[in-house]
């Protein structure tokens, strides 16, 4: 199940903390860490509402530490296969989650989906699409992931339908035909399962979860929704200890 609050606290008052606005080439030239010290591992699902809520904060984290830490997206597998009864209980549960996320994060939601007579809340196909993009253009994977989230929560696209990815591919400059050709392949159905398995191997019990890995040491910095500020405090503390 999705978690509603992070161990590190809920959102702080200032949701728009920005990194220093300096020339990127200068930042790279004067960075003290030429080789990454480790990596940030983000365990999330394209159809997890709290993952949509934390998306902009994670984008800031990814950008802020790009010269110090690699960033790895691990697809968690929230509801692979779907199959849950699409009734009023399910719809009201989702409506409650989405309103809660909107209140804390400010992220936009479109509730028209909840008026449909039938919908299979299967999170495996969009995860599979993201896994394909990892091989097509790894540097665009997280951007694609975010646009898939937006397509679902804002446009209410049916992500089980390959046609829904046309506009996403256009926006992210991903070759749609390549995605389409791989979408139903047994290969990527198996590869995305490996991401789900990795999530289990790291004992991830809810999404979003964020782990910082330094060597063989893994430390959880977020379990559930949290802010850029909260994550930054914990990451800086860990990096400071590493440098001593």
Q: What is the DSSP string of 165-198?
A: GHHHHHHHT--HHHHHHHHT-HHHHHHHHHHHHH
79-115 residue pLDDT tens: 999 999 999 999 999 999 999 999 999 999 999 999 9
7 versus 164: the higher-pLDDT residue is: 164
Give which of 109, 104, 107 is closest to 226, Cα–Cα: 104
40 strand-pairing partners: 71, 212
Domain total in the chain: 1
Q: What percent of the chain has pLDDT over 90?
A: 83
Tell whether 6 is covered by a domain: no
Domain of residue 170, CATH code: 3.40.30.10
Tell whether 97 is covered by a domain: yes
* Structure tokens given for 77: 């597998």
What's the whole-model pTM score?
Answer: 0.85
Which pLDDT score, from 0 to 100, does residue 34 have?
Answer: 55
Which pLDDT score, from 0 to 100, does residue 182 have?
Answer: 98
Tell whether 228 is covered by a domain: yes
For the chain, how big is the Rg over CA atoms in Å? 18
Residue 173 confidence class, pLDDT cut points 50, 70, 90 = very high
Q: Is residue 157 over pLDDT 80?
A: yes
Range 197-205 contact pairs with CB under 8 angstroms and sequence separation of 24 or more = 198/74, 199/43, 199/74, 199/75, 199/76, 199/77, 202/41, 202/43, 202/74, 204/43, 204/76
* Structure tokens given for 134: 């990892």
Torsion of CA 104, 226, 42, 33, to 10 degrees: 130
How do strand 69-75 and strand 38-44 relate by DSSP bridges?
Answer: parallel
Which pLDDT score, from 0 to 100, does residue 205 have?
Answer: 87
Tell whether 2 is covered by a domain: no
Judged by DSSP in three states, 159 sits in coil
12-71 residue pLDDT tens: 233 322 223 334 443 344 344 456 899 999 999 999 999 999 999 999 999 999 999 999
* Averaged pLDDT for residues 215-219: 94
Which pLDDT score, from 0 to 100, does residue 28 have?
Answer: 43
Tell whether 169 is covered by a domain: yes
Which pLDDT score, from 0 to 100, does residue 13 have?
Answer: 33
Tell whether 25 is covered by a domain: no
Residue 244 confidence class, pLDDT cut points 50, 70, 90 = low
Tell whether 46 is covered by a domain: yes
Residue 242 confidence class, pLDDT cut points 50, 70, 90 = confident
* Structure tokens given for 98: 């989405």
Could you tell me which residues come within 8 angstroms of residue 184 by beta carbon, excluding any fewer than 6 positions away? 162
Domain that includes residue 102, residue range: 37-243
């Amino acid at each position: 199940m999705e978690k509603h609050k992070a161990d590190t606290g809920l959102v702080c008052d200032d949701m728009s903390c920005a990194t220093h606005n300096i020339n990127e080439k200068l930042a790279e030239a004067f960075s003290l860490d030429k080789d990454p010290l480790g990596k940030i591992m983000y365990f999330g699902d394209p159809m997890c509402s709290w993952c949509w809520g934390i998306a902009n904060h994670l984008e800031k984290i990814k950008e802020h530490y790009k010269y110090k830490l690699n960033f790895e997206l691990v697809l968690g597998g929230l509801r692979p296969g779907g199959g849950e009864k699409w009734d009023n209980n399910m719809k009201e549960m989702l409506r409650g989650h989405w309103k809660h996320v909107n209140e804390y994060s400010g992220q936009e939601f479109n509730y028209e989906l909840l008026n449909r007579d039938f919908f299979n809340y299967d999170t495996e196909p969009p995860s599979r699409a993201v896994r394909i993009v990892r091989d097509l253009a790894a540097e665009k994977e997280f951007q694609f992931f975010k646009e898939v989230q937006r397509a679902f929560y804002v446009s209410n696209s049916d992500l089980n339908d390959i046609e829904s990815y046309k506009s996403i591919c256009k926006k992210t400059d991903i070759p749609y035909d390549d995605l389409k050709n791989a979408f139903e392949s047994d290969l990527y159905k198996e590869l995305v399962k490996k991401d789900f398995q990795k999530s289990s191997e790291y004992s991830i019990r809810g999404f979003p979860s964020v782990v910082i890995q330094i060597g063989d040491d893994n430390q959880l910095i977020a379990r559930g929704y949290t802010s850029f500020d909260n994550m930054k405090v914990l990451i800086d503390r860990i990096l400071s200890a590493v440098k001593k």
